[in-house]
Amino acid sequence: MKRTGAVIAAAGLSSRMGAFKPLLPFGEFSVAGHLVAMLKAEHADPIAVVTGFRGEELELELADSGVLLIRNEHYETSEMMDSLRLGFGAIAELCDQILVMPVDVPAVTGATVRRVMECDSPIVRTKSMDRYGHPVKLDREMVKLAMAYQGDDGLRGFLKGQKELVRDVVVYDEGSFTDADTREEYRRLLALNGSRGKGYPDGEALKWLLQTSGMPETVRRHSEAVSRKALDMAVRLGRSGICLNLELVRSAALLHDIGKGQPDHARRGAEILSRSGYPLAAEIVRQHHDLDCIPPKADETLVVYLADKLVQGEREVSLEERFERSRIKCAGSREAMEHFERRRLQARRALQVWENSIAI
Ligand SMILES: [Fe+2]
C-alpha cells in the first residue's frame, strides 16, 4: 500500500475573511483542527502544516495533533506554492504520494480523500461539472517537478503543464469545492456541516447536489412529483400521530434517482450520498427500489419507496397500473416473472402498512 502524506497550506493572511480562518470554529474543532483530524482518520501520514500569518497561535492549536509544523517566514510576500514547496521539502522523502490541501477547505469528506488516495495516477484531482476541487494528489515524481516549477499561477499553472498526467475523479461532495475566503462562504460551510450532522442534505446543500448531479430534466421532474407524493403521504401519517421527518422525506425523494442511468442505480445513488456525508438519505435511496424488509409501521423509507411506485413519470398511478406495465416487460422469462411477483407483493404489503398506519 502506498504511503500517503499531506501538506496543508495555512500561511495566508485571511485578508478577505477579516478573521483568522484556520482557527474559526468548525464542528467540534477549529477549521484547521477538523481538517487534520479528517486526514488522520484516513491515515494520511505524515501531515505537514505550513504556517505563517499568526503562526504561533495556529502552531499552539495543533501542537498535540502529531503533525509536522513548518513556518513560512515570508508569508506576507510569498504565494501558496511557496508554502507547498516548504511542505513538500519536509515530507517528500517519507511518502509515495502527497495530498495538497488549503487549510480553508475543511468540509471535504473522508470518502472523497480516500477515492483520491486510491486513484492510481501521477496527478489526481476532484471534479464536479466544470469545477476542480481538493485534495489534489501528486505522486513522488510530480512532487519533485512541482518543487522545481518556476512558472506562473502556482499549483494551477503546474497542473496545466501536466494535463496528460492528470486524472479527474468526479465527486458529489460539496465540501471538496467549498473554501472559506469570505464570511458568506464560511457561513455556507457551517450550513453544509449542519446538513452532514443531520444525515441528509437540506437547504443550500440539497440545492447544490441537485444542480451538480447532472440529473436529466425528465428524472428531475419525476423526482419532484415523487417528493410531492411522499410529503403528502407523510403529512397524512402525521394526522394519525406518526410524525416523520418531512425534511428527510423531501430530501431523499428528490434525490432517489441520483444514480439513474448507472447499473443498480439505487445502490449507486446511495453510494453517492454516503460518500457526500449523508448516510440517512443514502439508506432511503438504497431501498427505494426494493425494501430490505417491511417495517411494522410506516417510516420515511417506506413512504419514499411507495411514493416512487405510485408515480409514473410525473403522473400518479395505482400500484396495479404501475405493475401492469412491468408485467408486460417480464413476460417470457420465468425468472423475471418471479422477481416481478416478489416486487409486486412487497409493494402491496408496504401499501397495506401505510394504510394501516393512517387508519390508527
Ligand atoms: Fe423513481
Look at residue 352 and tell me whether its pLDDT is greater than 90.
yes
The per-residue pLDDT for range 187-205, each reduced to its tens digit, is 999 999 999 999 999 999 9
Distance 23 CA to ligand 1 centre (A): 43
Rounded average pLDDT over 23-27: 95
Angle at 213 between CA 329 and CA 232, to 5 degrees: 65
The pLDDT value recorded for residue 67 is 98
The pLDDT value recorded for residue 134 is 98
- Name the least confident of 88-92, 152-156, 314-318, 331-335: 331-335
Distance 256 CA to ligand 1 centre (A): 6
The pLDDT value recorded for residue 178 is 95
The per-residue pLDDT for range 56-114, each reduced to its tens digit, is 999 999 999 999 999 999 999 999 999 999 999 999 999 999 999 999 999 999 999 99
Distance 257 CA to ligand 1 centre (A): 6
What the block records as the C-alpha cell of 8 is 496543508
- Percent of the chain topping pLDDT 70: 100
Q: Are 115 and 169 in contact (CB under 8 A)?
A: yes
The pLDDT value recorded for residue 324 is 86
| Domain 4-195 CATH class label | alpha beta
Interatomic CA distance for residues 80 and 102, integer angstroms? 8
Domain spans of the chain, in order of start: 4-195, 200-358
Rg (CA), the chain: 24
Look at residue 360 and tell me whether its pLDDT is greater than 80.
no
Angle at 21 between CA 17 and CA 24, to 5 degrees: 115
- Listed in sequence order, the residues at least 6 apart from 343 whose beta carbon sits closer than 8 Å to its beta carbon are 290, 323, 326
Distance 170 CA to ligand 1 centre (A): 23
Distance 145 CA to ligand 1 centre (A): 48
Angle at 234 between CA 229 and CA 237, to 5 degrees: 130
Beta strands in the chain (DSSP E): 4-10, 25-26, 29-30, 47-51, 68-71, 97-102, 123-128, 131-132, 136-139, 166-170, 311-312, 315-316
Distance 353 CA to ligand 1 centre (A): 20
Interatomic CA distance for residues 39 and 105, integer angstroms? 12
Look at residue 160 and tell me whether its pLDDT is greater than 80.
yes
Distance 309 CA to ligand 1 centre (A): 7
Q: Are 175 and 105 in contact (CB under 8 A)?
A: yes
Q: Are 153 and 136 in contact (CB under 8 A)?
A: no
Q: Looking at this protein, which amino acid is placed at residue 153?
A: D
What the block records as the C-alpha cell of 357 is 398506519
Distance 261 CA to ligand 1 centre (A): 12
Partners of 101 in the β-ladder = 8
Distance 254 CA to ligand 1 centre (A): 9
Distance 222 CA to ligand 1 centre (A): 7
Give the CATH fold of the 200-358 domain.
Hypothetical protein af1432 (1.10.3210)
Distance 161 CA to ligand 1 centre (A): 43
pLDDT band at 215 (very low <50, low <70, confident <90, very high): very high
The pLDDT value recorded for residue 330 is 79
The pLDDT value recorded for residue 108 is 97
Look at residue 283 and tell me whether its pLDDT is greater than 90.
yes
Distance 310 CA to ligand 1 centre (A): 9
3-state secondary structure of 196: helix
Distance 172 CA to ligand 1 centre (A): 20
Rounded average pLDDT over 171-183: 95
Distance 173 CA to ligand 1 centre (A): 22
Distance 61 CA to ligand 1 centre (A): 48
Look at residue 130 and tell me whether its pLDDT is greater than 90.
yes
pLDDT band at 172 (very low <50, low <70, confident <90, very high): very high
The pLDDT value recorded for residue 359 is 86
pLDDT band at 318 (very low <50, low <70, confident <90, very high): very high
- Name the least confident of 179-183, 232-236, 258-262, 333-337: 333-337
Distance 18 CA to ligand 1 centre (A): 46
Sign, CA torsion 187/188/189/193: positive
Distance 223 CA to ligand 1 centre (A): 6
Distance 305 CA to ligand 1 centre (A): 9
Distance 27 CA to ligand 1 centre (A): 34
Interatomic CA distance for residues 311 and 318, integer angstroms? 8
Ramachandran angles phi, psi of 168, nearest 5°: -95, 130
Distance 328 CA to ligand 1 centre (A): 19
Interatomic CA distance for residues 215 and 171, integer angstroms? 14
Q: Looking at this protein, which amino acid is placed at residue 85?
A: R
Task: Round to the nearest angstrom and report the end-to-end CA distance of the chain.
Answer: 57
The pLDDT value recorded for residue 333 is 83
Look at residue 225 and tell me whether its pLDDT is greater than 90.
yes
Rounded average pLDDT over 233-246: 97
Average pLDDT of the chain to the nearest whole number = 95
Distance 144 CA to ligand 1 centre (A): 49
Look at residue 173 and tell me whether its pLDDT is greater than 80.
yes
